[in-house]
Amino acid sequence: MSVTLLAGSATASVALATENPAAAPAATVVPTAPVENLIVGYKSSATEASSNTAAADDAAAKGKKAGKKAKFDRRLGTGAALVNLGGTVAPAAAADVIAQFRADPDVAYVEPDTRAYAMAVTPNDTEYAKQWDLFESTAGMNVPGAWDKTTGSGVTVAVIDTGYVAHSDVAPNIVSGYDFISTASEARDGNGRDGNPADEGDWNATDGECGTGSKASNSSWHGTHVAGTIAAATNNSKGVAGIAYGAKIQPVRVLGKCGGATSDIVDAITWASGGSVAGVPANATPAKVINMSLGGPGACGTSYQNAINAAVARGTTVVVAAGNSNANASGYSPASCNNVINVASTNRAGERSYYSNFGSIIDIAAPGGETRRATDTPGTVTTPENAILSTLNAGTTTPGAEIYKPYQGTSMAAPHIAGLAALLKSANTSLTPAQIESAIKTNARPLAGTCTGGCGAGLADAAATVAAVTSTPPTSGRENTTDYAIADNATVESPITVTGVTGNAPAALKVGVNIVHSYIGDLKVDLVAPDGSVYNLHNRSGGSTANINQVYTVNASSEVANGTWKLRVNDNAGGDTGKIDSWNLTF
């Protein structure tokens, strides 16, 4: 089976808190987020101001009075004491400990040990204003809002594609890749597989050269366009900004003249994710994300599925393009494979792009753009400003000068999600591929336009998704921290009684869940509303992954807010047990 590509034509500032009791009286500092540590300033006349032993005894005593295990951690450079609360606690619980310190006349001030962040600024890349797909409110993916928390550092993304043609706006983020094209004539580099993934061009000189119906075409430099969307260098006063510009790109070449063979692509998936391929050196920098903006007709074969399953088992998230045939994606591969994030394309109006495949197997939508309207003459470029601008090359056959050019396609949509997956993995290294997929889908927003046929969970939202995986579940005082044991093949419920809320629950009710369990694939987790309605949060996914610590969003707008809500956990297998550690509701 042969497959083809799927495309058409800061300066940071940190606010530093000062410990000045006169300028910031303790009574004005109230925790509004979960707290792990407190900073306690003692008056100079107090023994605790100079004695660590006395400070330790005082912290333990005050913590005991508040029902918490507070302990002295260390002395700050200002002389203040850092007090650890024994783990992250809810604002209300932290306030109880704070109250004990405030009541002591020897304490000058006490405040939560809050966090400061680098303040992201608009990138100075010269073409950034044209990247509507990153920031426009109608159909952009809300990427700048994620950059305060993560830029993808520490994550390698394998781009399994045509290879890479040198481009100065991507070069700083390139790591060693591999050329998996087995046939020298298709590779155009004079040999078969080798360690140089350079794109030698995928042009066709004549019609019919690649089979009946094929057309003569110039080189696409497709892999370089995809790479730029994911991780073009950013804030370098040139070109475009990459979604995960702190990540690294690993070019893995599988597409040459007349596309690429399944056998080569399967080996590329294996190698990129850290698996072994006979005759190929081990991958020194295995990828945690794979992007495959390629495909062909036909349902997913066993070869593809086995390679993808193995990659995911190694901890690699696999992102694929849905296809550009305006048809059901179930008839295309690898889009129809399991264990992938299958991405449809949307246009600048927030509608499904006219060419994008669709269907129930689509997981998510992302900007893929349109260089022309559906009614325009095929092959024309009438709306380049509405496509996806990225790095490219001007050569018609072999490489020429580096340029930037807009392309359209699910090939352009998929790297938006690969870039987001890199942001998530960087922000929270413990996330599994299943958790990354779940977070992207859970935090998507509705399309501004329509999607006939189905576009999955909606339009991916980078800022909302990153916030969900980096934030401790919010509380707003409606929390149950009592442990409820989860036994084998049993069901347990933890209640929260809500009062004082007018009307119904919101359409975006936040449900923070913290479950300790050694095998979450055993678990079914539901939110049960006061009237008995059940909203599924987690249904036996994640396999052998341990623990659930996630914020889910539930449309509970039909439910009266006041009453007793329950978190119901059903263990469906033997051999692994755990507990509901805590959970909360935010209205």
In Å, the largest CA–CA distance within the chain is 91
Q: Is 161 among the residues known to form the active site?
A: yes
Can the peptide bond before residue 474 be classed as cis, meaning omega within 30 degrees of 0?
A: no
Catalytic residue among 411, 426, 438, 582: 411
> What whole-number distance in Å separates Cα of residue 204 and Cα of residue 215?
7
Among the residue ranges 20-24, 173-177, 445-449, the one predicted with the least confidence is 20-24
Looking at residue 11, its pLDDT comes to: 25
Cβ(25)–Cβ(108) below 8 Å: no
Looking at residue 78, its pLDDT comes to: 86
Q: Is 237 among the residues known to form the active site?
A: no
Q: Is 167 among the residues known to form the active site?
A: no
CA distances to 412, 499, 536 from 559, rounded to whole Å, are 40, 14, 15
121 versus 515: the higher-pLDDT residue is: 515
Look at residue 316 and tell me whether its pLDDT is greater than 50. yes
Instruction: Supply angle C-alpha 340, 344, 348, rounded to 5.
Output: 145
User: Measuring CA to CA, which residue among 501, 505, 443 is closest to residue 471?
Assistant: 443
Residue 30: pLDDT band with limits 50, 70, 90: low
For residue 462, which phi and psi values (nearest 5 degrees)? -65, -45
Catalytic residue among 167, 222, 225, 416: 222
pTM, two decimal places: 0.66
Residue 470: pLDDT band with limits 50, 70, 90: confident
Catalytic residue among 58, 125, 133, 161: 161
pLDDT digits (tens, 9 = 90+) for 108-165: 999 888 766 444 568 999 999 999 999 999 999 999 999 999 999 999 999 999 999 9
Q: How far apart are the first and last CA of the chain?
A: 52
